[in-house]
């Protein structure tokens, strides 16, 4: 006991408790940590690329689809960064969990049959789009976005800036290599399903290093790998390339003998039957009539932008045809699965606008029949600059033939503006609506090259030059 100046007894202060030792934080070798953030960058951007490609058959590839998709992806990634910076422990466990869930979402949610079923059963299409982005793409971005801030806590550097810089370097490098390798190599040579498998399986390869038990991590990886293979190899898949989805299916049509349709991005691109001679879709038969009967073309050079099923030149030996299509695989697919015989004509794999801008060849006719999905013409093929380039590759007396899918009354802003854009470059064009009783119809435009036409002048009661103009006609 100690004494105070007043002599009161005061008990001694208890000794301060010794803090318990903090549990040792699990660590990984620095190369493994870098591998994790590299894979995160590769897979996250790879998932975005695959998602954009999966949307093409259902919504097209216009900027009104790609820009919001990229925006949603970046927002989810930013929220993932924020979420990854909050935890103060169990960093590897959180990364392990995120990799598992992300791999499962990629394997099942980005598989072709899953996306096709979603857009087939959920209408309208914008609702299916929001479900796809909200339930598949954004969760993947949010989960993987947590990786860098979580693993930065485990990197050993002198200061925080060095740790963050190293992590972001490897993550961004993974994104760069993922964007190049998946779009230019994997999708081109193997298909979209292979890109999905790579994005799903890469995180699983590192899972054993993240699990408390190598055996448990290996078992989880094996289970998810089986899921990925099942959704992307076992389930029925359409024929896919980096640019489009293809299938050939029979259809019942009156007056036709065993017809079959060549579907490109869920749009009926071409039709052929077993009649002698074969029957084709109505707009192709009309185009053939214009070229062979109305214009009496023989031994002429005809450029077709957008190959479809190559039926315009099918068993037509009067003229020379050149097809330009963005997908280098479409010719082999059409010959094998649709026509059952070699395509008649020359095929050039490339972008239609790039070809007409650079080509030194001149043609008697240019046929524009290019669609990315449903009724969507690629937006860079509707501008006045594009139509000016089509005119550049025409001979002086050449003709432009355009297949459009529009409302039959031509009353929508898209129909009126598109036709006006073409006529602004070519002058007045013939307009032929093939199906008046359908909400969407094939509309054929026939325009001629030549000197610019003077703008029209209206006849009124005060100034009426109709008789004079009539006399001036050739």
- Here the CATH number for the domain that contains residue 171 is 1.20.1250
The pLDDT value recorded for residue 11 is 52
Helix or strand (DSSP H, E) at 228: helix 214-229
90, 148: one domain = yes
Long-range contacts of 428-432 (CB under 8 A, 24+ apart): 428/453, 429/400, 432/286
Instruction: Measure the CA–CA gap between 369 and 183, rounded to whole angstroms.
Output: 25
Rounded mean pLDDT of 1-8?
Answer: 45
279, 219: one domain = no
Query: By CB neighbour count within 10 A (0-12 exposed, 13-18 middle, 19+ buried), where does 70 fall?
Result: middle
221, 254: one domain = no
143: its two tokens: 């989960």
Sign of the C-alpha dihedral computed for residues 423, 425, 428 and 434 taken in this order? negative
What confidence tier does 17 reach under pLDDT thresholds 50, 70, 90? low
- Residue 329's domain comprises 246-448
Q: Which of 217, 240, 263 is the last residue of a domain?
A: 240
Instruction: Measure the CA–CA gap between 27 and 210, rounded to whole angstroms.
Output: 10
User: Angle at the Cα of 289 (from 283 to 293), degrees rounded to 5?
Assistant: 170
pLDDT in tens, 44-94: 999 999 999 999 888 888 888 999 999 999 999 999 999 999 988 888 889
- The answer, yes or no, to whether residue 18 has pLDDT greater than 60, is no
The pLDDT value recorded for residue 215 is 58
126, 183: one domain = yes
Closest C-alpha to 315, from 287, 343, 292: 343
Give the lowest-confidence range in 53-67, 198-212, 246-260, 435-449. 198-212
**Cβ 281 vs Cβ 264: under 8 Å:** no
446: its two tokens: 């026939």
Our count of domains for the chain comes to 2
The pLDDT value recorded for residue 4 is 45
Rounded mean pLDDT of 440-453?
Answer: 89
* Percent of the chain surpassing pLDDT 70: 91
189, 324: one domain = no
422: its two tokens: 């073409």
The pLDDT value recorded for residue 262 is 94
230, 265: one domain = no
Q: What is the 3-state secondary structure (H, E, C) of 310-332?
A: CCCCCCCCCCEEEEEECCCCHHH
> Is the residue at 471 inside a domain?
no
168, 229: one domain = yes
For residue 298, the domain's CATH number is 3.40.50.150
Q: Torsion angle of alpha carbons 67, 69, 74, 76, nearest 10°? A: 150
Closest C-alpha to 233, from 265, 180, 190, 266: 190
Q: What is the pTM of this model?
A: 0.81
Answer with the residue of higher pLDDT: 301 or 221.
Answer: 301
Rounded mean pLDDT of 207-235?
Answer: 74
Q: Which of 240, 265, 290 is the last residue of a domain?
A: 240
- The answer, yes or no, to whether residue 2 has pLDDT greater than 60, is no
Residue 440 gets the label, from left (phi > 0), alpha (psi -120 to 50) or beta, of beta
Q: How far apart are the first and last CA of the chain?
A: 130
| Bridge-based pairing state of the strands 441-448 and 394-406 | antiparallel
Give the lowest-confidence range in 32-36, 104-108, 314-318. 32-36
- The answer, yes or no, to whether residue 10 has pLDDT greater than 70, is no
The pLDDT value recorded for residue 12 is 53
The pLDDT value recorded for residue 221 is 74
The pLDDT value recorded for residue 343 is 96
């Amino acid at each position: 006991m100690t004494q105070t100046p007043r002599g009161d007894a005061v008990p001694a202060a208890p000794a301060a408790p010794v803090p318990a030792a903090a549990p040792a934080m699990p660590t990984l070798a620095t190369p493994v940590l870098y591998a994790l953030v590299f894979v995160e960058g590769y897979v996250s951007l790879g998932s975005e690329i695959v998602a954009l490609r999966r949307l093409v058959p259902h919504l097209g590839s216009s900027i009104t689809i790609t820009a919001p998709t990229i925006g949603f992806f970046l927002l989810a990634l930013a929220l993932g960064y924020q979420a990854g910076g909050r935890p103060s422990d169990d960093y590897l466990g959180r990364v392990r969990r995120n990799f598992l869930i992300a791999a499962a979402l990629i394997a099942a949610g980005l598989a072709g049959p899953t996306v096709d079923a979603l857009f087939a059963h959920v209408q309208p299409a914008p609702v299916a789009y929001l479900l796809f982005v909200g339930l598949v793409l954004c969760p993947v971005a949010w989960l993987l976005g947590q990786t860098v801030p979580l693993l930065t806590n485990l990197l050993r550097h002198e200061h925080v800036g060095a740790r963050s810089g190293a992590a972001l370097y490897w993550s961004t490098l993974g994104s760069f290599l993922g964007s190049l390798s998946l779009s230019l190599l994997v999708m081109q040579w193997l298909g979209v399903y292979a890109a999905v498998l790579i994005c799903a399986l890469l995180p699983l390869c590192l899972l054993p290093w993240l699990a408390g038990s190598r055996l448990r991590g290996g078992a989880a990886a094996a289970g998810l790998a089986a899921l990925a293979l099942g959704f992307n190899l076992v389930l029925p898949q359409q024929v896919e390339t980096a640019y489009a989805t293809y299938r050939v299916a029979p259809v019942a049509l009156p007056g036709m003998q065993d017809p079959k349709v060549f579907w490109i991005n869920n749009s009926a691109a071409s039709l052929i039957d077993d009649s002698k001679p074969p029957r084709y879709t109505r707009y192709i038969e009309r185009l053939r009539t214009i070229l062979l009967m109305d214009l009496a073309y023989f031994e002429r050079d005809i450029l077709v932008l957008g190959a479809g099923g190559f039926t315009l030149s099918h068993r037509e030996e009067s003229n020379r045809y050149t097809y330009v299509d963005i997908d280098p695989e479409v010719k082999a697919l059409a010959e094998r699965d649709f026509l059952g015989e070699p395509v008649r004509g020359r095929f050039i794999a490339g972008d239609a606008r790039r070809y007409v801008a650079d080509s030194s060849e001149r043609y008697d006719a240019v046929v524009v029949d290019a669609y990315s999905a449903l009724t969507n013409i690629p937006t860079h093929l509707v501008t006045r600059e594009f139509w000016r380039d089509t005119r550049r590759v025409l001979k002086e007396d050449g003709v432009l033939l355009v297949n459009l899918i529009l409302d039959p009354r031509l009353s929508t802003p898209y129909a009126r503006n598109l036709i006006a854009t073409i006529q602004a470059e070519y002058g007045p064009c013939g307009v032929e609506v093939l199906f008046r009783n359908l909400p969407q119809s094939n509309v054929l435009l026939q325009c001629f090259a030549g000197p610019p036409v003077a703008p029209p002048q209206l006849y009124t009661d005060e100034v009426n030059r109709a008789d004079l103009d009539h006399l001036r006609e050739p």
